């Protein structure tokens, strides 16, 4: 199971790399349909490109996955994202009824576990820290470059 998580997280990390190359905070996301084990959405953060504060990787992936399956619930999917989701994205995961969330790096400032006090955990199985080092390192490199 952990090997599967790393496999999909690595694809999310590739998406984050795309974001990095476009000058976006490097966060990537994939949504996997559990019955088929197929990826039904891939996305990366596009806040700067679209000048849209709602264009986080997870929001784009959820909209895209729902368009793909033609339904508003993703209740047999797993969402992989390289950074612990924020309040907005946690809410979107909640509304989409996504039962499994796997994230890479922890976000101690805006991450859901600190903000929502376990709201999601009532109905979402959450696993953090998959490829944590790589996910975190990409974000740190981005901000280091930005400052210099």
Near its own copies by CB under 8 A: residue from 11, 115, 124, 136: 115
Of 12, 59, 131, 138, the residue at the interface with its own copies (CB under 8 A) is 59
CB of 7 to its own copies, least distance (A): 26
Q: Which CB atom, from 22 or from 72, has the smaller least distance to its own copies?
A: 72
Write down the catalytic residue from 4, 21, 58, 125.
58
Check: CB of residue 62 under 8 Å from CB of residue 93. yes
Q: How far apart are the first and last CA of the chain?
A: 40
| Separation between Cα atoms, residue 92 and residue 20, nearest integer Å | 24
Query: What does the radius of gyration of the chain's CA atoms come to, in whole angstroms?
Result: 14
User: Which residues, including other chains, have CB under 8 Å from residue 131's CB and lie 6 or more apart?
Assistant: 6, 9, 10, 13, 82, 104
Place of tokens 């890479």: 104
Is residue 145 a contact residue for its own copies (CB under 8 A)?
Answer: no
| Residue 21 or 48 having the CB closest to its own copies | 48
- What is the total count of residues that contact its own copies (CB under 8 A)? 31
Question: Applying CB under 8 A, which residues contact its own copies?
Answer: 47-48, 51-55, 59, 62-63, 66-67, 70-73, 86-92, 94-97, 115-117, 119
């Amino acid at each position: 199971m952990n090997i599967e998580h790393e496999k999909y997280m690595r694809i999310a990390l590739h998406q984050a790399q795309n974001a990095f190359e476009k000058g976006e905070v490097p966060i990537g996301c994939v949504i996997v349909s559990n019955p088929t084990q197929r990826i039904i959405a891939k996305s990366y953060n596009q806040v700067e490109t679209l000048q849209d504060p709602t264009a986080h990787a997870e929001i784009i992936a959820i909209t895209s996955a729902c368009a793909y399956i033609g339904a508003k619930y993703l209740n047999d999917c797993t969402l992989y994202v390289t950074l612990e989701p924020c309040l907005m994205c946690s809410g979107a995961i909640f509304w989409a009824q996504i039962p499994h969330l796997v994230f890479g790096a922890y976000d101690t400032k805006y991450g859901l576990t600190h903000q929502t006090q376990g709201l999601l955990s009532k109905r979402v199985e959450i696993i953090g820290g998959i490829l944590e080092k790589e996910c975190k390192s990409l974000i740190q490199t981005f901000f280091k470059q930005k400052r210099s």
